[in-house]
Amino acid sequence: MKQRPLSVTLVSWLYIATGALGLAFHLTDFRSQRPFQFDIAGVALVRFLAIVSGVFLLRGANWARWLAVAWIAFHVVLSVFHSWVQVAVHAAICVVIAYLLFRRRAGQYFRATNF
């Protein structure tokens, strides 16, 4: 297996940290009076997908980079319902992450692993 590019490592850990911190933050919204709230379950699932994406990016799974880009693209769509500043920030982050995960060196890393 070829050496993992630093950019992939950084994006991977960013996703793991973002997912873990977001999951911890949003699970504090859980209330025992209302044991199953669908909105919290949805948010938890999205945060969990970030963690899964980050872990499998580190392992070199090609599908994980697609999941990572889909995850941030989903946030671009969600930010449309907020402010245009959030749309711009999420869109810029999406472009940077897509570039880092799909540039030639990263592509060679994901092709080199048989996952």
pLDDT value at position 80?
92
88 - beta bridge partners? none
pLDDT value at position 2?
74
Write the single-letter amino acid at 63. W
Q: Which of 54, 52, 97, 55 is nearest to 72 (CA)?
A: 97
For the chain, the farthest-separated pair of C-alpha atoms sits apart, in whole angstroms, at: 51
Segments in the chain below pLDDT 50: none
Are residues 19 and 50 in contact, defined by beta-carbon separation less than 8 angstroms? yes
Q: What is the pTM of this model?
A: 0.85
pLDDT value at position 37?
64
pLDDT value at position 90?
95
- Mean pLDDT for the chain overall: 88
Q: Which of 56, 46, 55, 52 is nearest to 23 (CA)?
A: 46
pLDDT value at position 25?
84
pLDDT value at position 43?
83
